[in-house]
Amino acid sequence: MRKLAGKHGYSDSFLSGGAVGSVALSAMEKKRRCMATFASLKDAFHILGISTLVSAVVMMCWAFFDISTQGYFILGENHLTIRYFECGLVGFSLIYVLYLLVAYIKKRAGA
């Protein structure tokens, strides 16, 4: 029984059906689920950040193309909700760029 317990990392009380092992497993399961949720939120943060940066680059290319071909660029949005949402995305994009910059500086300083 000890060999099996050492191999899989469970205590003897868990293998024998004791309450201590099941509580420990429950705590381990909670920690694993919390880490999985954190990883998925981190992935969602990076996906949203990268997509806002890509859309900003596409918009910049579109504006420069119109300016170079027509000599001007006109874009107007009259819907207030869309304007607020776009300003929120710009704010998020700026925060994301600052996050990437700080992470890069910390990585270079630690190396």
48 vs 40: CA distance, rounded Å: 12
Three-state DSSP at 18 gives: coil
H and E: helices and strands count for the chain: 4, 0
Instruction: Return the top range by mean pLDDT from 2-6, 16-20, 72-76, 98-102.
Output: 98-102
Q: What is the pLDDT of residue 13?
A: 46
Q: Which residue has the higher pLDDT, 6 or 83?
A: 83
Is 105 a residue whose pLDDT tops 80? yes
CA of residue 73 relative to chain centroid, distance: 34
List of residues 6+ apart from 20 with CB closer than 8 A: 11, 13, 14
| Per-residue pLDDT band at 6 (split at 50, 70, 90) | very low
Share of the chain above pLDDT 70, in %: 76
pLDDT of residue 111: 63
